[in-house]
Amino acid sequence: MTGKQQGARDRGAAAIELALLLPVFLVLVFGLIDFGRMLNDQIQVTNAAREAVRMEALQLGPDAQTRVDAATTLGADAHITDATACTAESEPTDAASATVTYDFHFITPLGAFADLALPDPVQLSSTATMRCGG
């Protein structure tokens, strides 16, 4: 077999390899982007719950939602869904709690395919507790 015949047989091999590997590569990249965003948002929701329960436990003010909004870049989309505040009659062994939820939306096209396994939006949630300050 001469070099000219070998080149004719290999023509188009790179295009086929690209067509086979590009979807796998794109799924990997889009998955990394959305997973990284979701992990960052979950960390922010956890910090927001910590700030909200601090407000409830130390009785620093009635507006814990404002503190949650300031503690995250998620804005008003992160909201307190359940809170138990300390009162003046609370014992030091009593605890305050706060639950913050946030609806995460995918931004890559992978979200359309992930919708088969995960709901869109994915609800991120975190609960924090703190003993009442005496």
Q: Both tokens of residue 134?
A: 């005496």
* Residues lower than pLDDT 70 in the chain: 1-9, 61-62, 112, 114-116, 134
Give the tens place of pLDDT for each residue, 5-23.
Answer: 666 667 788 889 899 999 9
User: Domain span at residue 24?
Assistant: 3-131
At 38 the pLDDT is 92
Q: In sequence order, which residues have a C-beta less than 8 Å from that of residue 105 and are 6 or more positions away?
A: 111, 120, 121
Question: Which of 18, 67, 71 is closest to 46 using CA atoms?
Answer: 71
Q: What is the pLDDT of residue 12?
A: 83
User: What is the model's pLDDT at position 75?
Assistant: 73
Name the β-bridge partners of 97: 84, 129
Tally the domains of the chain.
Answer: 1
- Quote the pLDDT of residue 130: 92
The reported pLDDT for the residue numbered 105 is 87
* Rounded (5°) CA angle 75-81-84: 120
Burial of 59 (0-12, 13-18, 19+ CB in 10 A): middle
